[in-house]
């Protein structure tokens, strides 16, 4: 790589945070160099076409864009149309299928009742009272039971969580499940946000359009950490890789959970009737099955094809070199993160560290876009002051 001259800023990582930062800076007239380690932009939203079924396969697990923030929604809609898909998730437990999230559809089916909306709160309070949870929950299990009662916890949360995190939920901090709302309605939309959808022509097209602008230069297959010696001092850098990797893991790696995916194309038009089904029982090794054609119900030709692409999702222990998905938040990792942040600020004073990996925080896509907009706009205000 030749020395980087003629750029006003460098963005390291072309995931949704990095692409948003790059676009805002370029719209303000800056020349931006985007360096992406992978062979294409998009981060973990990257998709592939399954030729037999015609489905857009989400390579790193299902991604549904949903938000209640009109500014974020307006920004992403500059680059693509969204199809209005409304996400619904089913759960399999003990041979039966239930609608998530926790609401009247699940409660009445699970308990064999006919609760009315005004009866839900008292019914759940009664289930919680029977569980004997202390006033201040001491761990994940007690916190979850305090929200929904023990029977629902045991059926839909306990074993799923054990598979997801690789440990007994009693070993997890209560803060991991800060809230678990129970809806007093038959609304089975998984997200409460009114603004939802999948990019009509796929996530790859969204990212390509975000970066398709005079002033943005994209270099894929280029690792910022290997090339940063060529970037002149004083050039602002927006880094969205892991903050511990930025510093060579000098204090040890931050802990993550990773995922393993098993994908196959089946000779049926429809395998499970919906996009995502959770498997909550301990004797099923995976947590979810994704069926991707359901993300585009408007694509009648693909829906009719006698093939479908599905993917089983298996959580797994993480080690350096694996794809990091979920940060493991506990007092030890919080202290280690603070140490890395302090060291990064001292060693790279002109750098902004952000995004899911940089901040060591799980973000939905809309929150990542909102954070990136705020980051870029704050930088431009200071630059122009």
Distance CA 141, CA 127 (A): 15
Average pLDDT (142-167) is 96
Q: What is the pTM of this model?
A: 0.94
Instruction: Give the rounded percent of residues in the chain with a pLDDT score beyond 90.
Output: 91
**Range with the lowest mean pLDDT among 121-130, 173-182, 349-358?**
173-182
Determine, yes or no, domain membership for 107.
no
Determine, yes or no, domain membership for 156.
yes
The token pair that represents 208 in the structure block: 């390509």
Distance CA 244, CA 158 (A): 31
Distance CA 356, CA 15 (A): 9
Query: Confidence band (pLDDT; 50, 70, 90) for 1?
Result: very low
pLDDT of residue 3 exceeding 70, the answer is no
**Phi (first) and psi of residue 334, to 5 degrees:** -65, -40
Q: Report the pLDDT value the prediction gives residue 176, as an integer from 0 to 100.
A: 84
Residues 36 and 164 in one domain: no
Average pLDDT (236-260) is 96
Q: What is the residue range of 163's domain?
A: 120-177
Contact of 68 with 195, CB cutoff 8 Å: yes
Residues 227 and 352 in one domain: yes
pLDDT digits (tens, 9 = 90+) for 80-119: 999 999 999 999 999 999 999 999 999 999 999 999 999 9
Q: Report the pLDDT value the prediction gives residue 173, as an integer from 0 to 100.
A: 87
Average pLDDT (277-304) is 97
Number of folded domains that form the chain? 2
Q: Which residues are catalytic?
A: 179, 183, 257, 288, 313, 362, 364
Residues 23 and 147 in one domain: no
For the chain, the average pLDDT equals 95
pLDDT of residue 2 exceeding 60, the answer is no
Residues 170 and 218 in one domain: no
pLDDT of residue 381 exceeding 50, the answer is yes
The token pair that represents 33 in the structure block: 């160099």
Distance CA 367, CA 292 (A): 23
Determine, yes or no, domain membership for 333.
yes
Distance CA 19, CA 42 (A): 8
CA distances from 66 to 34, 69, 81, 198 (A): 26, 9, 14, 9
pLDDT of residue 5 exceeding 80, the answer is no
pLDDT of residue 317 exceeding 80, the answer is yes
CATH number at residue 356: 3.40.50.720
Residues 134 and 28 in one domain: no
Query: Confidence band (pLDDT; 50, 70, 90) for 180?
Result: confident
Contact of 88 with 188, CB cutoff 8 Å: yes
Average pLDDT (42-58) is 97
Determine, yes or no, domain membership for 281.
no
Distance CA 155, CA 164 (A): 15
């Amino acid at each position: 790589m030749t020395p980087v001259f003629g750029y006003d800023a460098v963005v390291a990582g072309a995931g949704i945070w990095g692409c948003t930062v790059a676009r805002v800076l370029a719209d303000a007239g800056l020349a931006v160099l985007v360096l992406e380690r992978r062979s294409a932009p998009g981060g973990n939203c990257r998709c592939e076409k399954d030729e037999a079924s015609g489905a857009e396969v989400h390579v790193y697990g299902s991604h549904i864009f949903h938000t209640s923030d009109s500014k974020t929604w307006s920004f992403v809609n500059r680059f693509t149309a969204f199809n209005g898909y409304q996400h619904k998730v089913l759960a399999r437990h003990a041979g039966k299928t239930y609608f998530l999230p926790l609401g009247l559809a699940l409660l009445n089916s699970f308990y064999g009742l006919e609760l009315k909306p005004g009866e839900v709160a008292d019914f759940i309070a009664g289930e919680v009272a029977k569980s004997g949870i202390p006033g201040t929950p001491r761990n994940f299990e007690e916190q979850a039971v305090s929200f929904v009662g023990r029977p629902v916890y045991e059926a839909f949360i306990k074993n799923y969580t054990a598979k997801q995190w690789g440990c007994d939920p009693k070993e997890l901090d209560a803060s991991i499940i800060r809230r678990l709302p129970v809806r007093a309605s038959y609304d089975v939309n998984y997200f409460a946000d009114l603004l939802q959808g999948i990019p009509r022509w796929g996530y790859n097209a969204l990212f390509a359009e975000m970066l398709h602008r005079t002033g943005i230069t994209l270099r894929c297959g280029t690792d910022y950490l290997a090339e940063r010696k060529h970037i002149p001092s004083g050039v602002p850098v927006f880094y969205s890789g892991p903050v511990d990797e930025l510093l060579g893991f000098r204090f040890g790696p931050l802990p993550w959970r990773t995922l393993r995916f098993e994908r196959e194309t089946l000779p049926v038009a429809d395998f499970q009737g919906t996009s995502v089904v959770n498997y909550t029982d301990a004797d099923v090794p995976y947590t979810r099955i994704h069926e991707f054609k359901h993300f585009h119900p408007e694509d009648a030709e693909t829906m009719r094809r006698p093939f479908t692409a599905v993917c089983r999702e298996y959580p797994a222990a993480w080690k350096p070199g694996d794809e990091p998905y979920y940060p493991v938040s506990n007092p030890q990792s919080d202290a280690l993160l603070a140490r890395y942040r302090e060291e990064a600020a001292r060693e790279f004073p002109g750098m902004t560290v952000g995004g899911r990996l940089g901040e060591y925080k799980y973000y939905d896509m809309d929150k990542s876009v909102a954070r990136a907009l705020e980051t870029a706009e704050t930088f431009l205000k200071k630059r122009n002051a």
